[in-house]
Amino acid sequence: MTKKKDTANPSPRKDRPALIDETKTKPKKKFGTIFPIVGIGASAGGLAAFESFFSGMPADVDPGMSFVLVQHLAPDHKSLLTEIISRSTRMKVFEVEDGMEVLPNCAYIIPPNRDMTFLDGRLQLIEPVAPRGHRLPIDSFFKSLAQSLHESAIGIVLSGTGSDGTLGVRSIKEEGGMVIAQSPSSSEYNGMPLSAIATGLVDYELSPSEMPAHIIAYVSHVFSSPLQKPATPKHIAENSLQKICALLRAQTGHDFSMYKPSTIHRRIERRMAIHQIAMVDAYIQYLEQAPAEVEALFRDLLIGVTNFFRDPEVFNTFEKEVVPKLFAGKSEGSPIRIWSTGCSTGEEAYSIAILLQEYLEKTKQHFMVQIFATDINSKAIATARSGRYPASIVDDVTPERISRFFAIEDEGSVYRIRKKIRNMLIFSEQDMIKDPPFSKLDCIACRNLLIYIGGALQKKLIPLFHYALRPGGVLFLGTSETVGDFGDLFTAIDRNSKLYLRKENLNSRLPSTIDRFLPPLLQVESSPHRHVSVKRINPVQQPLRELTEQTLLKQFVTAGVLVNAHGDILYLHGRTGQYLEPAQGVSGINNIIKMAREGLHRELSTALHKAQSSSEIVRSLALRVKTNGHFTSVDLTICPVTANHAEFADQLYLVILKPTSQFECELMQKNGPLGVDEVVGGSGKEENMDVATLRQELLAKDEYLKSTIEELETSNEELKSSNEEMQSINEELQSSNEELETSKEELQSVNEELTTVNTELQNKLIDLSQANNDMSNLLSGTGIATIFVDNRLCIMRFTPAATRIINLIPVDIGRPVGHIVSKMVGYDSLIIDVQSVLETLLPKELEVQTTEGKWYTMRIQPYRTIENVIEGVVITFVDITEMKKSRELLQDAYDQLRLAGIARDSQDAITVLNTDGDILAWNPSAQRIFGWTEKEALTMNIQDMLPKDIQAQELEKIRLVAAGDIPVPYETSRKNKEGQTLPVWLTASFLADDAGHVYAMAVTQRTTMRKDNT
């Protein structure tokens, strides 16, 4: 069950549950006229969202509410937000000044480098204390708005990064307000909206332009008029409420019929306002048609508003007064068992775990701490299990605890509980109203939960907690809760902090609330005196002795009183009003001596004293007791009572008061009964033979009667002995039955705990299986061959790609890696390299080739666990075959590029001719010497450069030079572009492909030193 805090007006005193501490009820603060105030928070991307929001406001109607804008602003730059918003709305827009009064139909904007709160209708500016980047101005303002306006508060979270506003959303929902978040799809930065939505408390997810219409509709439904306080919740008929509870029970399995009606009424009214439904019957019809709304109402009833170390002073007291007691008297290593009921999202349970861990570290002791944290809200339990909380928890947790017990994730926007704290807790869904409780607990934390449930259920839960706690266990309640009328079960450790110590319940062996977890064969029924319990056993199994005794008690009613050595009354039987009357003065413990009527007081006191000193039965006969103006004769008997039970350490006495019979009264008046001798002797000498005969017969019958009485007494003794044996057997059977009952209850509690642990382990197995599947798919998807080897050089795991390099099959897992034949060529030092990495912890990388001709980069690095323990190595093979080929191609291209550079930079004219003499290549020196550009030359034939006298045979001579048939250099001549003839020295060589076929000739031409003067 999720704990919440309700701040509605308290109901009249006579209707309040007995377990609510009225001294903690705080009246709501009022300031002038109440009207809705909308707090809007934004960060990055907020300007566009603000403009879109105000553009959606009606252009011709005042909204009748105020808007306060809180944005993360640069502290050293003047804000232009006021001017920008003024262009988008007809309302007056102000930059807030300290103490400015909030008026309807106005917009207020926070100034730079200031935090802001709302108090008594005014906006208060505060100089920030937290360093830049750690400030949470939206949370701060939303909290103050909720505390001041309660259900009139409306909060909106717009675009922004981080989680500012999340705790403020919880505060507004705690007070019954309304919350809207910008839809992530419409947000420029969705960090803040997503964080608010993740709480499960957001009423609407809308784009900024859609928000004004929903706010106006909501306000018009909740408020009778815009400038009045919220309308008083309508009274929901009992029949309608039962229908709604039935729908909730049918879909969720949880019964809300025993909750306080005022709590349910407020939540139903709020849901009706959100959906614009005016009539309860129409809302019931909507619930029947929309299962999602039933779930939403269920979540609304379970608003888990909590935080770390809520009520810091209370937790300080818990740390100082309770935590040491939990470990006191226990041997090291023994379990510490705690139950956190209604744990919601887990902050309170984790807070207790942190306090226990700090104590263990301080005392350097080791105990097995088990904290069972339960709730009926599955989403809240999922959040608690994840242990991830927004960065705004820094307001509630000290920096020292943040660094020790939390890990920062997602660039500082999320804090995760560390493993050593998480392992202390077991989270489970459990309804403590219907599910068996845990047992033998050292502490139960049930804070801010009892205030939401009815008085009848509250009075069942407190004895249930008493049963679940071990002797000396601690009950930890909320600041507005008490143990009520159960002061005989708990004694206060600290009343202000609501810490209670379990007391031994001397007068009750089994709490009446436990009967709902037991089969109907055995029930527990409370007598008119609550502290005395009587067991009702099936009539078929009822012993004959007990049946006889009950019948006799009904026929012969004798007044009896069970008292202790001081005369304090523990139990009354029969009608004692004739002999006892209440004493004057303050009513407290009733004492039989003080209550004795006139004529009984002295004898009763004396007889009780004699019984205490002698430990024997004491009788006083024919006492004259004054009753209603006349005297009644009564016989007083006091019998010592032996209670074979450890709970009754004091000696007990049974006081029996029986009216004296008429015959005994007459005998007492004559100083005792008359004997036969006295009757006969009284006849004197006038007795005759008949009288003597009668006397003889009387004496004979007297002897016979005495003999019969002796025989009867002997038989009675035998029967008594048999009866005692039967009684002893019956008591043993009863004791065995009680032990079996206790064992059954313990087994049920243990079974519940095992179920809880099993659920936790199943969740962990699911997570582990998912992680394993993800890892397997990741390793297979990358295509990287990977082999995991332990410290003994045995194979732990490998990916399918590894079989292409080393001959591995599934049965090779567990075998030494050195026993496996690899396909690597020229590399046989794998074992040496693995051992070297294990010794030095330095990664090693080298290139290897397989028999298939493929190349791989092999990397060997240590296998590290999360705890930074080396448990082997990881060998990976990355295919670099294509990279190798690309490298070779690159080398060839480089070589060709180098040759091209030589040809380009040469001072000789270098040309390439095909077999027909067409020019295929032309270097810059050729252009310099002959004048034609490369573009022009590539369209020419060698014949175009030859003087006419050598054109016919020059191409053939070039072929001969290339073939080596003419010595080189060969002197010849060429024409340039201007038509001049130039003498040149020529060398040539054939160019052939890989097959040896000549496809061209490379010709090098150098001009001679002589001048041509023609």
The catalytic site residues sit at 43, 72, 164
Count Cβ neighbours within 10 Å for each residue of 546-581 and write b for 16 or more, e otherwise.
eeeeeeeeeeeeebbbbbbeebbbbebeeebebbbe
SS3 per-residue string spanning 567-623: CEEEEEECCCCCCECCCCCCCCCCEHHHHECCCCHHHHHHHHHHHHHHCCCEEEEEE
Q: List all residues 6 or more positions away from 586 whose beta carbon is below 8 Å from its beta carbon.
A: none
Alpha carbons 755 and 761: distance in angstroms, whole number: 10
Question: Cα 692 from chain centroid?
Answer: 101
Burial (0-12, 13-18, 19+ Cβ within 10 Å), 218: buried
Residue 539 has what DSSP assignment?
Answer: G
Nearest to 1005 by CA among 904, 884, 909, 895: 909
Residue 674 CB partners (closer than 8 Å, separation 6+): 667
Backbone angles phi and psi of 966, in degrees to 5: -115, 130
Residue 217 structure tokens = 């509709």
Q: How far apart are CA 764 and CA 761, in angstroms?
A: 5
Give the tokens for residue 237: 């008929």
627 and 578 Cβ atoms separated by less than 8 Å: yes
Strand, coil or helix: 986:
strand
Is 483 within 8 Å of 475 (Cβ atoms)? yes
Give the C-alpha distances (Å, rounded to integers) separating 686 from 276, 510, 697.
116, 75, 19
User: Dmax of the chain from CA atoms?
Assistant: 213
User: What is the chain's alpha carbon radius of gyration, rounded to the nearest angstrom?
Assistant: 50
- Burial label for 100, CB within 10 Å (0-12, 13-18, 19+), is middle
Burial grade of 935 (CB within 10 A; 0-12, 13-18, 19 or more): exposed
Residue 463: name the closest of 439, 491, 431, 486 by CA.
486
Write the burial class of residue 124 (CB in 10 Å: 0-12 exposed, 13-18 middle, 19+ buried): middle
- Closest C-alpha to 383, from 150, 197, 648, 587: 197
* Burial annotation 186-216 (CB, 10 A radius, 16+ → b, else e): bbbbbbbbbbbbbbbbbbbbbebbbbbebbb
* Nearest alpha carbon to residue 526 among 595, 458, 459: 459
Q: How many residues does the chain have?
A: 1014
